[in-house]
Structure formats: structure tokens, C-alpha cells
Chains A and B, each alone.
Chain A
Amino acid sequence: MTSPSVALIDYHAGNLTSVKKALAAVGAQVFVPATPEDVVDASAVIVPGVGHFDATRALGPEWVDAILQRVGEGRPLLGICLGMQWLYEGSEEAPDVRGLGVLSGECRRLKAPPGSALKIPHVGWNSVDQSRDASIMDGVASGSQAYFTHSYVAPITGDTVASTEHGESFASVVQRGQIAGVQFHPEKSGEVGLQILRNWLRQAV
């Protein structure tokens, strides 16, 4: 069995070193496509990213078409953090930039209840509470903790597999067919994160 070759999309929203290392640790071959055409060769696609939603502007129509084509051919797609938010229709962080739109809903800023001492951005380890079965969570106990760093969140919808609470509940794991997303950083979440990457990769083989 050859190891799946994962296209890691670099749109200059954060450093990819950690994601590459974690994927290598779970047996994936990773390449960073220089052009949208290179995505054709990928057995799976990851859109990583941290930072401002405006950065996803760099994922222009050619990237969108290339990624949607691979997804249409049944290849798995994973969005991490900002990359997960991009799977939705858009975000109030950058209202004039549209998301990929493969998941319905708009991302918005986390709100701390009035008078609470909760800090936003949400930074640190928090529990991931599973609400339904999905292959991406195989072998991961509900309530396991993962490392988050973000201020905007995706809404809880029918695609939500697990949610996390920080002032309010938001989607921390989503899966719809071969499309999945995680709001936390699996590459920084110890064994829990590696197990989630392994689960996702299995779809790519």
C-alpha cells in the first residue's frame, strides 16, 4: 500500500512546518502544490491556516475549481482552523470574501457573555464533545482535549460532529461525506490530534 499523497495548500496564512511534520508522523506524503493544476495529483487535500479570514482571498477561482474538482472525484478534503472556516459560505471577519461554500452557514466572532472574564481569542486546550458518530473521531473519546487558537467560529449545524464551549458552543469537528474540518490544531494536539489525522487519511488510501 503506498502512502497517500496529501496536497497541503499554502496561501500564506501561517507556517506549515508543524502540519507537515504531523502528517509525516502518521505516514502521509505531503506536497505543497505550486499551482492549482498540481492539485490534480493529490489523493487528498488539506487547507490549513491561521489568522484573518481575508487571507483566504488568495484562494482564487483557480484554486477553488481545482479543490472542488478533486472533491467531486471523491477525494477527501480537510480544513484546519481558518481552513475549516473557509469551507463555509463566509465569515463576518471579512464579509466581502466568500468561503468555499461546501458547508452551509456563516462564521462569526466568539462572544463572551457580558461581565464574564473569558478571554477572546480562545487560546489553549479545551474539550471536544462529540454529538454524533463520524469516522474522523474513531478511537477518540468524547471530551478529549485539543489545542485551539482562534477568535471566530463556525456555527453548529447538521454537519457538526463535535462542539466545544468558550462563552458559547461552536462546531469544533465537522464532517459531511469526505469533507471534514477541525477548528483546533490536530498537529499541536498530541495523540488526540494525530489519531484524527490518521482517521482522515484512511479515507485517502
Chain B
Amino acid sequence: MLAKRIIACLDVRDGQVVKGINFEGLRSAGDPASLARRYNSEGIDELVILDITATLESRRALAETIRAVARELFIPLAVGGGIRTEADAEAAVDAGADKVSLNTAAISNPGLITTLANRYGSQAIVVAIDAKRAGDGTHFAVYSRSGTTSVNRDAVEWAREAESRGAGEILLTSIDRDGTKRGFDCPLTAAVSAAVAIPVIASGGAGGRDHFVEVFTAGRADAALAASIFHYEETSVRALKRHLQQHGIPVRL
């Protein structure tokens, strides 16, 4: 049976992980390759490296980070943050990324999804959607530029369009829940997951193991992504997966 995936996100700036840098037992706390190695040994299914500054200098450091992580880890690696052009995607793929994640650029230039899908295959193209509850709370509005700019689009409708343009997966982040540790937005995730045939990765709000159980059942997510909660030993990837297994959710152990 296809396993539900647990994905760890490394927020990187100038080659260093910027969230939760108090990792015991690591020689260099902020080193993405060290952290990636630890997650891999704990059984993470996939890694996302997110360049949170996306400046020109940061971009060069990013390529080095991708190379360092990809050199020794043989699990899927996605890279996002500031990928705006075919050349940006090419640089990430050439450095060792298996997938690139498009957000703002996909909204302003949806043709980029198709261009990249034709070049690398749909499996390599993730469209990241940042969504926030709107109106009476039953609709979900899309935001761009790291959640700062409303683009006047419905998240479900945009996910469908991204799929039709060649996206292979949707990385769906709830702006309302991001950083709150109150759990994933399950109605949002379920609405998008039901609307598309491609996998949906839920993100934003992970605060405990039961939040993952909820998003894989009520939320109908195919994968769930978190950053900071994996930084603490009490929520290790392995312990989380055992918890999911006890709740009848198929995982890779």
C-alpha cells in the first residue's frame, strides 16, 4: 500500500538552516547537510530545501547546499523559494534537486509550469499554494510573495489549473495555521485533495503527532510537511511514524 509521506522542510538562508538551531549532537547546528543526514537516519521520506531569502548571493549558497545534501542522500529532494525562471529551475536541478517548487512565479507566469513540466517531467514540478480562509471561512484565497499579497484567486480552482498545466504535486500551506502549532487546516487540505488527481502535501500548523493523524484522515493529505517540530527529539520522525502506524495509517518504517 502506498505510504503517507512525512516530509521535512529546511528553511535555509545563506547556506544555513534558520529555524530551530539548537540541535544537540550536531557538529554544526545550522548545517543543512548535517540536519538532512539526521532526518534521513530517522526515516524521513523526502526533504524540501526552502531558500527563504532568495537573493542573488543566497542563490549561489543554495546551489552549494543542494549539492552537499544531494551528494549523500538518496531520497527525493525538492527545492523552492524564489524560483522564478527556467534558469533558476535548471540551476536547482543541475545541483541535484529532483523537484522544484514554484509559488509566486507560477501565479504570475503559469506557462512556466508547462515549460518546466515539458522539460523535466511533471514528477519534477511542485506548485506551492499559500492559502488563507476568506469570506465566511469556507473559501480559501491564494496569496503570493510569501503570503503577503492577495492574488484574488480561489485555492481549489488554482490547484486544478496548476494540475492541468502540468504540475505533478501540490504543496499546500495554510497561512492561518503556519507557525501556530494548532494543527493542519484539514478542511482546506481535503477540499484541494478532492479536486485534483495529483498528490497534495499539507503544510502549516504541525504541532504534535495527532495533527498528522488528522491531516491524513480528515484532511485526505497524501503527504505532510513540517519544519520546526522535527527539531526536537521528542517528536522524532521515527516516533511520529510509529504513532501513525498505530492509527492504521500506512507509513514507511
Binding site for B on A (CB under 8 A): 13-15, 17-18, 21-22, 25, 50-51, 117-127, 145, 147, 149, 165-166, 187-191, 193-194
Complex CA distance for A122 and B96, rounded to whole angstroms: 22
Complex: A126 Cα to B76 Cα, angstroms: 14
Q: Are B124 and A14 in contact (CB under 8 A)?
A: yes
Binding stretch for chain A, among B1-9, B25-33, B136-144, B229-237: B1-9
B168 & A18 in contact (Cβ 8 Å cutoff): no
Please indicate which of the listed interface residues B4, B74, B123 has the most CB atoms of chain A within 10 Å of its own CB.
B74
User: Please, which residues of chain B bring their CB within 8 A of the CB of A13?
Assistant: 121
Could you tell me if A147 and B1 are in contact, using CB atoms closer than 8 angstroms? no
When each residue 169-203 of chain B gets 1 if its CB lies under 8 Å from chain A and 0 otherwise, what string results? 10000000000000000000000000001110000
Q: Is the CB of B123 within 8 A of A117?
A: no
Known contacts A14-B120, A188-B75; is-contact A123 B45 (Cβ 8 Å): no
Q: Is the CB of B2 within 8 A of A124?
A: yes
A126 with B3: CB separation less than 8 A: yes
B199 close to A190 (CB less than 8 A):
no
Contacts A/B (CB < 8 Å), 10 sampled: A15-B98, A15-B120, A17-B70, A120-B197, A121-B123, A121-B197, A123-B222, A124-B4, A189-B74, A190-B75
Q: Which of A14, A15, A22 contacts B74 (CB 8 A)?
A: A22
Tell me which residues across on chain A come within 8 A of B72, comparing CB atoms. Answer: 25
Q: Which of A14, A21, A126, A191 contacts B121 (CB 8 A)?
A: A14
A46 vs B123: C-alpha distance when bound (angstroms): 20
Q: For the complex, is B13 an interface residue (Cβ under 8 Å from A)?
A: no
Return chain B residues, CB-CB under 8 Å to A15: 93-94, 98, 120, 124
Task: Find chain A residues with CB under 8 A from B94 CB.
Answer: 15, 17
B123 touches A17 (CB 8 A): no
Complex contacts, B96 vs chain A, CB 8 Å: 17-18, 21
Q: How far is the CA of A191 from the CA of B165 in the complex (A)?
A: 34
Are B124 and A123 in contact, with the CB atoms below 8 A?
Answer: no
A149 touches B123 (CB 8 A): yes
Docked complex Cα distance between A122 and B1 (Å): 11
Dominant secondary structure of chain B at its interface with chain A = loop
- For the complex of A and B, 9 pairs with smallest distance between CB atoms: A149-B123, A51-B121, A125-B252, A125-B3, A145-B252, A50-B121, A126-B2, A123-B199, A188-B76
Contact between chains at B168 and A149 (CB < 8 Å) = yes
| Further 16 A-B residue pairs, CB within 8 A, beyond A50-B124, A126-B2, A190-B75 | A13-B121, A14-B121, A18-B70, A25-B74, A50-B121, A51-B122, A119-B197, A119-B199, A121-B123, A121-B199, A124-B222, A125-B3, A126-B3, A188-B76, A189-B74, A193-B74
Contact between chains at A145 and B70 (CB < 8 Å): no
| Residues from chain B with Cβ under 8 Å of A194 in the complex | 74
Asked if B131 is at the interface (CB within 8 A of a chain A CB), the reply is no
Distance in angstroms from B39 CB to nearest chain A CB is 12
Mark each residue of chain B from 218 to 235: 1 if its CB lies under 8 Å from any CB of chain A, else 0: 001011000000000000
CB distance from A58 to the nearest CB of B (A): 14
Question: Which residues on B sit within 8 Å (CB–CB) of A189?
Answer: 74-75
Specify which of A18, A187, A193 lies most central, judged by the most chain B CB atoms within 10 Å of its CB: A18
A120–B196 Cα distance when bound, in Å, is 10
Least CB distance from A89 to B in Å reads: 23
Are A123's CB and B123's CB within 8 A?
A: yes
A-side contacts of B37, CB under 8 Å: none
Chain B neighbourhood of A120, CB < 8 A: 197
Q: Which residue of B has the minimal Cβ distance to A117? A: B220
Assess whether A126 is in contact with B1, with CB atoms less than 8 Å apart. Answer: yes
Q: How far is the CA of A149 from the CA of B126 in the complex (A)?
A: 13
